[in-house]
Structure 1
Amino acid sequence: MTFGDTGSPVGEALDQIAGRLRTESTRLLLQHWRSIMEENRLPSRNKIDPSQLAPVLPSIWLCDFMREENRFRYRLTGEKVAKRFGHKLSKHYLDDLTDPSYYPRVHRYYRNAVDFPAVLYIYGRLYAETANPIHGERILLPLSDDGLGVHGLIGATAEIIPRQNREAPYLPEFQKHVYVTLETGAIVEESLPV
């Protein structure tokens, strides 16, 4: 049994997160990440099988955590993610791509996923700092080069309710963050206004 298996405290917490997921992108990525975990070890980037994620690759992104610099550098981004920014994010840093007024918030939740370590599920208004925010969900999953420390994140971002009219005023006025700590399976939730 791995620590992410159903029946373990972490596995039961991850099952709860899986039950909240609304999009194929986030569900398939979480399922694949859990399938490549080994006993008491975080999955490695090298274990990711793109063929298992083919239908959702446009919504997936991967970044490295540059611990010495306290920065995140994107390794790759799917087409849907790149389209949000108008270009591929590969080799760009999170702080170069995020509005400076919003960056501390985004950096904090990326760091929480690394430092706990934790799986992070976000629901609500995404890309809130951009001209085209969406009502969506995002999942961040830690990756490790050695199975122990977190060296990067893989994630998926997906729109839940497509806006037919981009001028329509409705979008959630919040983000809900749900962390599953991978040491104990504790669930930590917070709601933040956007």
Structure 2
Amino acid sequence: MEGLTDGWMFVEDGTNRTYWHPDIARFHDYWQGITPSGHLPGRQHFDPLDIARIMPRVWMLDVVQPGPRFRYRMAGTMEVETLGMDPTGRWLDEVHDAFRTRPDIASRYLATVESGRATYRFGRVAFVHDREHRFVQNLILPFARDGAAVDLLMILSIMFHSDGVEVK
């Protein structure tokens, strides 16, 4: 599959978005558009109606300190469907063993919180999902109520079957 890396990266102003799914690009553009100058956007800047079409694929994690530890605040309907359950209110590391056992996964979430920068990944599914969903393209966006300390992560995940066909 074009653009498949299995690694993650920080999103910079000049990041090549050639292989980004259009909804990933829209999600990032929306986040940039609501970001106050010199600060991170907070949940108060976000209106789900602005991106209503892609909200079924969005999931949100509260960043709980000290730690940090991550708790599902919300999971869109497509995320719930691919997980086979609604994780709302549960800890990420309890829902997904891989978060505890694979440091490469946790490092991305921690780096997003610590740096306040968006991260992108296109690779094999790392968390347990529907067994037919083999690849994922996703974007993690940091939010901070006070404009500086990240307290919420919003993630958009696009799932793909083993043949590269998008899960709809």
What range describes the TM-score normalised by the shorter chain of this pair?
0.7 to 0.9
- From 50, 53, 58, the equivalent of 2:51 is 53
**TM-score, normalization: structure 2?**
0.80
- 2:85 aligned with 1:87: yes
Deviations, residues 104-130 of structure 1 (Å, cap 9, x unaligned):
332221001011222100011123555
Q: Which runs of 5+ in 2 are unaligned?
A: 1-10
* Kept in 2: contact 1:58–1:80 (CA 8 A): yes
**TM-score, normalization: structure 1?**
0.70
Residue 75 of structure 1 corresponds to 73
Residue 137 of structure 1 corresponds to 137
Residue 183 of structure 1 corresponds to none
Identity of aligned pairs, percent? Answer: 22
SS at match of 2:161: coil
RMSD, aligned α-carbons: 2.3
Q: Which runs of 5+ in 1 are unaligned?
A: 1-11, 166-194
Alignment of 1:26-65 (within 5 A): 26-65=24-63
**CA distance 1:86–1:125, change in 2 (3 Å):** same
| Cα distance in 1, alignment partners of residues 13 and 86 from structure 2 | 30
One-letter code aligned to 2:13: L
Number of aligned positions between the proteins: 152
| Cα distance in 2, alignment partners of residues 117 and 129 from structure 1 | 27
Say which one has the larger Rg: 1
**CA distance 1:88–1:20, change in 2 (3 Å):** farther
| Cα distance in 1, alignment partners of residues 73 and 113 from structure 2 | 16
* Kept in 2: contact 1:120–1:140 (CA 8 A): yes
**CA distance 1:15–1:59, change in 2 (3 Å):** farther
Alignment of 1:37-186 (within 5 A): 37-100=35-98, 102-127=101-126, 132=131, 133-159=133-159, 161-163=160-162
Q: Which consecutive aligned stretches of 4+ in structure 1 deviate over 4 angstroms post-superposition?
A: 128-131
